[in-house]
Every structure is written in C-alpha cells, then in structure tokens.
C-alpha cells in the first residue's frame, strides 16, 4: 500500500468506517431533535420543568458523567495500546472501559429506583416523559456499547481476531455514548 492509498483511505474512510459515522450522526441528530423538543416544551410550562428538575439528583448525574468520561479515556488508551501491539494492556484498559459503563448503569439503576419509588414515572408530567425517554434511550446505547466491547475483549483474549478497524468502530460508538450523555446531563440536570 502506498502513501497515497493510505491518505486516501484516511480521508474517505474514518475510523470504524463511513457507515458507522452515518449511524453516529443519525443518533446525534435524533437526540438533538429530542433535546430541542424538550426545550420548546419547557417554554410552555417553565415552572413545571424547573420544579421537576429540582427532583433530580445532580450528584448522581455528575458522578455518572465522571464514570463515562473516565471510561472514554480508557477506551482511547485501549486503541492506543492495540496500535502498539500490546494486546494484554489493550484488554486491561478495555476492561476498565467496561467497568466505567457498568458503574454508570448501576448508578443510573439506583436513580431510576428512587424516581419510581417517589412516583416520578414516565407519565408523571411532560418533563419526566422526556427524562425517561432520553435517559432510557441512552441506557440502551450504553448496554449495546458494553456488549460490543465484551466481544472486542473476547477477540483480544481468545481468538486474537479483533482488528484495529473493529476496535476503532467500537471506540467511536462508545465515545458517541459519552457525547450523548454530555448533552443530556446539563440539559436535564442543570439548566431548567
């Protein structure tokens, strides 16, 4: 492969492939539209949205933000170690990435438990409809991301069939989950 071919590939084929990036942009657009709908809806009843937001636990939201940001760092380190052909360290950092995702899900589950026990369910009011749909959809993405990362780790350890393209695609998906949370956290927990 010549340098010209490598440059061509890098320009037209981003890490993970163009189809993955189309999916990521569609997901971000979907969440963006939902957040815009949330803001527009909040203008119709600002007091309801403000009072509802006060019932959210910003400490849980901030800790979950830290979990995802740190796991994103570990995911980047995973790819870096893989590029150095250090599969054992790559697998180690991938496990730390997954740990961050699991910790996020555990804390989000605790938060969901408190919201349900307090009666703040999907149909409580329009703020909580947005809260449950947006955070629930994000949780689904984190679960899918963890399943993907599990298979990447399995490939690193057992069959050695994980490729750089596969790992970069997994990293791109995981970072999308981080980015979506970085949009959701301030809008849901801090702004209203």
What is the structure's pLDDT at 51? 93
What is the structure's pLDDT at 13? 63
With 0.95 as the threshold, say if the pTM is over it: no
Which whole-number Å values give the CA distances from 151 to 41, 79, 144, 172, in the listed order?
A: 40, 15, 11, 15
What is the structure's pLDDT at 1? 43
| CATH code of the domain covering residue 108 | 1.20.120.80
What is the structure's pLDDT at 189? 93
What is the structure's pLDDT at 9? 54
Containing structural domain, residue 16? 3-191
pLDDT in tens, 61-86: 999 999 999 999 999 999 999 999 99
Mean pLDDT of all residues belonging to the chain: 90
* Percent of the chain at pLDDT exceeding 70: 91
Mean pLDDT of 35-48: 92
Q: Where are the alpha helices (DSSP H) in the chain?
A: 3-12, 18-44, 46-54, 58-83, 87-117, 126-154, 164-185
Confidence of residue 6 (pLDDT cuts 50, 70, 90): very low
Mean pLDDT of 136-146: 96
Q: Is the pLDDT score of 46 beyond 60?
A: yes
Range with the largest mean pLDDT of 3-7, 25-29, 154-158, 188-192: 25-29
Range with lowest mean pLDDT among 14-18, 35-39, 46-50, 182-186: 14-18
What is the structure's pLDDT at 8? 47
Task: Name the domain count of the chain.
Answer: 1
Contacts of residue 69, Cβ cutoff 8 Å, sequence gap at least 6: 178, 182
C-beta separation of 92 from 181 below 8 A: no
What is the structure's pLDDT at 22? 86
């Amino acid at each position: 492969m010549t340098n010209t071919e490598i440059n061509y590939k890098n320009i037209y084929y981003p890490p993970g492939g163009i189809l993955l990036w189309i999916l990521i942009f569609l997901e971000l657009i979907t969440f963006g539209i939902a957040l815009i709908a949330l803001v527009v809806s909040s203008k119709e009843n600002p007091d309801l949205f403000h009072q509802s937001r006060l019932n959210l636990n910003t400490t849980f939201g901030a800790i979950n933000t830290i979990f995802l940001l740190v796991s994103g760092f570990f995911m980047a380190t995973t790819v870096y170690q893989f590029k150095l052909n250090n599969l054992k360290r790559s697998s180690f950092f991938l496990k730390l990435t997954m740990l961050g995702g699991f910790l996020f899900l555990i804390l989000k589950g605790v938060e969901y438990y408190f919201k349900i026990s307090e009666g703040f369910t999907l149909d409580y009011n329009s703020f909580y409809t947005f809260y449950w749909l947006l955070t629930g959809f994000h949780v689904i993405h984190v679960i899918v991301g963890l399943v993907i990362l599990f298979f990447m780790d399995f490939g690193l350890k057992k069959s050695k069939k994980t490729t750089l393209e596969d790992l970069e695609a997994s990293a791109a998906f995981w970072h999308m989950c981080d980015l979506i949370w970085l949009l959701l956290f301030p809008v849901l927990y801090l702004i209203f």
